[in-house]
A and B are shown apart, each in its own frame.
Chain A
Amino acid sequence: MGALLQDVMSGLAAGSIYGALALALVFVFRSTGVVNFAQGEMAMISTYISLSFYNLGVPLLAAVVLSMACSFLIGITVERTLIRPVAGRTAHAASIVTVGLFLAANGIAGYVWGVEPRGFPSLFSRESVGLGGARIAVADLGALAVLVVLVFLLFLLFEKTRVGLMMRAAASQPASARMAGAPVSNLLMSGWGISAAVGAVAGALIAPAVFVSPGMMGPVFIYALAAAALGGLSSPLGAVLGGWIIGVAEAVIAPRVDFIGSQLAILIPLTIIFLVLLLRPAGLLGVQEVKRV
């Protein structure tokens, strides 16, 4: 029992990180209808920025917050300079541009910071606490708490503020929103900015475990994509639930099924993506799109 609880908790913690990155994906998708394949790489750059601030002597928490601000600026710059020019051209053009951004960001990080992995300090203590016969790492509880706070803040922003209302309007009915006086282009830009800032949080959470390197977000990004697909690309709550389901499934199944082991753990998100997209393409909480010609 204790072992299971322990696995579930570490699964929830890992799932929170996947969920955070999935949340970033969902925000971009909701605001601009683009799947940002560079979301993971942007989070990787944000993590290097956090680390650079930290190495300058800034306290870790402040370094991450500063990096979130930088990431917000990077996010809006990307939307303005790279995404907007191709928006509305074809359904795929913007997504292909993000693939280009993926490659470029990866190369830039390697060029600027080198490819050797670097350590990253944890935001939380390395202690663990006893809970019902299991030892739960404080860092796991911390990741979970951070995600819950993040979701709560974004929920408040979107559902309870005027800006949030306008953002939702701009995403679902850009033309009408513009006519009603909403600054649609600024809102879309902010959507990318917020996503990048959320990605910075995901990067800071995962970095102590995987070290900081240009390739650090590769597998995490696959899990985040799976989480977003599972929850429904248009649902923030779905992204978080999706992250938790995938994290727990991995942590609980991998050690109990010999065949899977650590190597084939990647098959778990893949299977989930497959099943969800085949059985319920809109995801658990997403809205099915109706095609019109």
Chain B
Amino acid sequence: MKALRSHGAKLAALVLVLVLAVVPFYETPYNNNQITLIFIFAMAILGLNLLAGYTGQLSVAQSLLLGIGGYTAAILVTEIEMPHLLTIPAAGFVAMFFGWLIAMPVLRLQGFYLMVVTLALVFVLSPVVKEFPSVTGGPEGLLIDAPEGVGTLATDQYVYLVALAVGVLLFALAARLVNSAHGPAMKAVRDNEVVAEAIGIKTTRTKTGAFLFASAFAGVAGSLYVQVIGYVSPDSFGIGLGLALFAGAFIGGIGTIAGALIGATFVQVVPLLAGRTDASLTGVIYGTAVIVSIMAFPEGLAGLGATVNKRLRKRSTGTSPTVSPDPPTAPAATPTTSISSSRNETR
């Protein structure tokens, strides 16, 4: 049953990627850029999902790391004319390094203290960037040239396909990670750190690893972000984006790989739709969606089917879903359970 489901998921993912690979040849440059941005946010949210969803470390600093990646790429392109493609791994590594610097002290903190510190960190990027205008361009930011198209591919098509390829790579990496022995270790840290420590899981190493993955994913996303936007400024990566990514992770389904793509679509599309009437509606929709998704669908939109199924089952049989022999949501080792649901089940 489980193997079947996993094959089905692989097939669905393959079809999705093939369809997405054809899209840029039929869409306008504007739409291609919008979809590319969805891929980019999906990478950042995916990283956050590994950190917050699987390992239970809530961070709103993902926009900071995205910004670090973005600035790294922009500086490398403008200062030493590094090819755009090479800035992608470079930005990933630089963000990972900063992530490591942050993780060392911060991961000793728990729960909301971690959120408090990451929230404060997000406010640091803009003043620091403005303080060193010779490298960062100061308040005006940096303009970078878009990468040139390759062969018959126009720039927007080229960047789209690069982002898609990188995205596929990161999603495959994340899926591999959570399906390896590290996956259950991460969840054990999330569900009860003391117990995890007691059964021999190196909790600090697990948490740091998750933070490094989250940082690297955000850094890679940041380098692609500047290739699409062609511009970085100190205020592009503030608390607004940080909270939007955080919201996207929870709306899509925290603790699910597929949820990242759904969350990213939400993060990119809602402001565009809301902007037609009033830009302020974006916040209202984000906020409401986060609250509703936490209250009503503990597994996010990606787990919607499972949640509904579970509730129906509960109603029809009158028994708790935790004791049903074949629960519609997968057991704890597969990536469809979220923090809240798995905690519920263990209680």
**What residues of chain A have their CB less than 8 Å away from a CB belonging to chain B?**
35, 37, 82, 85-86, 89-93, 95-97, 99-111, 115, 214, 218-219, 222, 225-226, 229, 261, 263-267, 269-270, 273-274, 277-278, 281, 291, 293
Contact = CB atoms under 8 A, between A and B. Distances in A.
5 contacts: A82-B295, A104-B291, A115-B280, A277-B113, A291-B194
A102 B122 CA distance: 16
B162 interface: no
A104 B283 contact: yes
A234 B334 CA distance: 38
Interface in B278-293: 278-291
Contacts of B285: 107
A293 B195 contact: yes
A90 B52 CA distance: 13
B20 interface: no
B229 interface: no
B283 A103 contact: yes
Interface residues of B, number: 51
Nearest to A25: B116
Contacts of B119: 37, 222, 225
A263 B283 contact: no
Contact of A82 (B128, B130, B289, B291): B291
B105 interface: yes
A270 B124 contact: yes
A167 to B, nearest CB: 22
A97 B111 contact: no
A274 B112 CA distance: 14
A99 B239 contact: no
Interface stretch (B63-71, B73-81, B243-251): B243-251
A225 B120 CA distance: 9
B340 A229 contact: no
B131 to A, nearest CB: 6
Contacts of A274: 105, 117
B116 A99 contact: no
B339 interface: yes
Nearest to B195: A293
Q: Chain A at the B interface: mostly helix, strand, loop or mixed? A: helix
Interface in B93-118: 105, 108-109, 111-113, 115-117
Contacts of B158: none
B341 to A, nearest CB: 9
A101 B291 contact: yes
A261 B131 CA distance: 10
Contacts of A101: 287, 291
A99 B295 contact: no
A92 B284 contact: no
A166 B246 CA distance: 37
B115 to A, nearest CB: 7
Given A96-B250, A101-B291, 20 more contacts: A35-B116, A92-B56, A92-B111, A92-B112, A97-B295, A99-B247, A100-B288, A102-B287, A104-B286, A107-B280, A110-B278, A110-B283, A222-B119, A225-B120, A263-B127, A266-B124, A269-B120, A273-B120, A277-B116, A281-B113
A278 B108 contact: yes
A273 B286 contact: no
Interface in B114-140: 115-117, 119-121, 123-124, 127-128, 130-131
A38 B131 CA distance: 30
Contacts of A106: 280, 283, 287
B246 A99 contact: yes
B284 A111 contact: yes
A261 B291 CA distance: 39
B33 to A, nearest CB: 25
Interface centre among A86, A99, A105 (most CB of B within 10 A): A99
A191 to B, nearest CB: 17
A95 B246 CA distance: 12
B127 A266 contact: yes
Contact of A90 (B128, B198, B247, B340): B340
Chain A to chain B: the 7 pairs with minimum beta-carbon distance, closest first: A107-B283, A104-B287, A110-B280, A100-B290, A103-B287, A107-B284, A100-B291
Contact of B280 (A85, A97, A214): A214
Contacts of B112: 35, 92, 95
Contacts of B280: 106-111, 115, 214
A209 B56 CA distance: 39
Interface-central residue, A91, A92, A264, A278, by most chain B CB under 10 Å: A92
A163 to B, nearest CB: 27
Q: Which of B56, B113, B121, B130 has the most CB of A within 10 A?
A: B113
Nearest to B120: A270
A64 B1 CA distance: 63
Contacts of B127: 263-267
